[in-house]
């Protein structure tokens, strides 16, 4: 009942947010499958943690194989469940240790949810606030719906948090966050993650977003946006979302859900992705460009999406998911 009342309240607020979004009308280019890279590695029992190390269902031995996007050549080595050497992958060339940076079954080398033990340059678990490195948190942190711990970010329309304190991150970034969109993602397009090349919310940016009830990759800039659609529908439960933005090579963003790499079903042919000199702003939350309805692209027809985000991290090598 509370979610229904919340959603009804959003209908008025969200209607003012509807704007033109070229992604719906652009002609898509050829479909781009996730590259398979190197050998598939031994059988592997990839859980939600460990990313694609150990040769999981579709990540089959690394996401790239060309040694330019996350050190993913060589697949999962012989990691199996443990993902041997995953932390050695990183965004440098080559790398034979899994899909770069996954560290055993648990994935995240901190071993436990939360930022207390974390060494990631960017981390937010919403457990200890305020945090002067972040803006926009406000009253959106709520208890009772967290992926881990007690608190999570609850995203009414147009709500997001940002940081320009990116530490050692330059133009290559691995990200991880936990997401719940209930009862499912909207039909209309919107942003979840925006990784800008300028301090403010402007310039070129990599995006993890949603459209047609599924996750979507995107790059904005150079006179347009290069959408990368998927058919990865979001279930009504917490999922671990990972992404890799390779601005050094101007490569399309790569994404994983619960350790399985997401394959693009449709990719726009233009514009060309420009290389990034340095990422300057990381923004995460809910930015709808159309309605929040789960059944109507433009309108706010019930049911509408409710969203929570938790356990956010950004680093120069793959972070991985926590073992659950």
In a domain, 46, yes or no: no
Residue 240 lies in a domain: yes
pLDDT value, residue 107: 62
Determine the Cα–Cα distance for residues 181 and 227; give it in Å rounded to an integer. 21
Quote the number of domains for the chain.
1
**How far is residue 251's CA from residue 244's CA, in Å, rounded to a whole number?**
10
Residue 36 forms part of a structural domain? no
Q: How far apart are CA 165 and CA 184, in angstroms?
A: 32
- Distance, CA of 289 to CA of 264 (rounded, Å): 21
Question: Is 195 within a domain?
Answer: yes
Is residue 257 one of the residues assigned to a domain? yes
pTM: 0.70
Is 113 among the domain residues? Answer: yes
Q: Do residues 34 and 257 make contact, with C-beta atoms less than 8 angstroms apart? A: no
Give pLDDT, residue 110. 62
Which residue has tokens 């590259």? 35
Q: How far apart are CA 264 and CA 228, in angstroms?
A: 6
Q: How confident is the model at residue 323 (pLDDT cuts 50, 70, 90)?
A: confident
Over residues 187-220, the pLDDT tens digits come to 999 999 999 998 887 789 999 999 999 999 999 9
**Domain CATH code at residue 210:** 2.60.120.200
Nearest to 241 by CA among 140, 311, 315: 311
Give the pLDDT score at 38.
37
CA-based nearest residue to 317, from 39, 162, 86: 86
- pLDDT > 90? residue 135: yes
Q: Is residue 80 part of a domain?
A: no
Could you tell me the residue range of the domain that residue 308 belongs to? 2-30+109-315
Residue 179 three-state SS = strand
Q: List pLDDT tens digits, range 67-94.
A: 333 333 333 333 333 333 333 333 333 3
Answer yes or no: is 297 within a domain: yes
Residues 6+ apart with CB under 8 A from 276: 171, 197, 204, 245, 247, 248, 250
């Amino acid at each position: 009942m509370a979610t229904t009342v919340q959603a009804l309240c959003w209908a008025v607020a969200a209607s003012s947010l509807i704007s033109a979004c070229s992604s719906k009308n652009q002609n898509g280019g050829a479909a781009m499958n996730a590259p398979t890279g190197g050998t598939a590695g031994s059988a592997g029992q990839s859980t939600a943690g460990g990313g694609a190390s150990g040769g999981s269902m579709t990540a089959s031995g690394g996401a790239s194989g060309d040694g330019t996007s996350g050190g993913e050549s060589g697949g999962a080595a012989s990691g199996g469940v443990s993902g041997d050497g995953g932390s050695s992958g990183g965004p440098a060339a080559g790398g034979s240790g899994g899909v770069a940076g996954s560290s055993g079954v648990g994935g995240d080398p901190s071993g436990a949810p939360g930022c207390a033990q974390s060494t990631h340059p960017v981390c937010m678990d919403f457990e200890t606030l305020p945090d002067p490195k972040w803006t926009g948190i406000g009253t959106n942190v709520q208890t009772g719906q967290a992926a881990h711990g007690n608190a999570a970010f609850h995203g009414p329309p147009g709500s997001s948090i940002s940081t320009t304190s990116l530490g050692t991150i330059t133009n290559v970034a691995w990200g991880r966050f936990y997401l719940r969109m209930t009862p499912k993602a909207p039909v209309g397009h919107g942003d979840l993650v925006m990784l800008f090349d300028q301090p403010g919310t402007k310039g070129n940016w990599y995006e993890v977003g949603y459209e047609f009830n599924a996750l979507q990759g995107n790059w904005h800039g150079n006179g347009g946006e290069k959408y990368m659609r998927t058919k990865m529908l979001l279930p009504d439960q917490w999922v671990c979302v990972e992404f890799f933005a390779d601005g050094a090579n101007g490569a399309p963003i790569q994404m994983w859900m619960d350790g399985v790499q997401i394959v693009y079903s449709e990719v726009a042919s233009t514009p060309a992705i420009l290389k990034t000199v340095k990422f300057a702003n990381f923004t995460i939350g809910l930015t709808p460009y159309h309605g929040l309805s789960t059944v109507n692209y433009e309108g706010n027809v019930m049911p509408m999406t409710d969203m929570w985000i938790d356990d956010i991290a950004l680093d120069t090598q793959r972070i991985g998911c926590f073992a659950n």
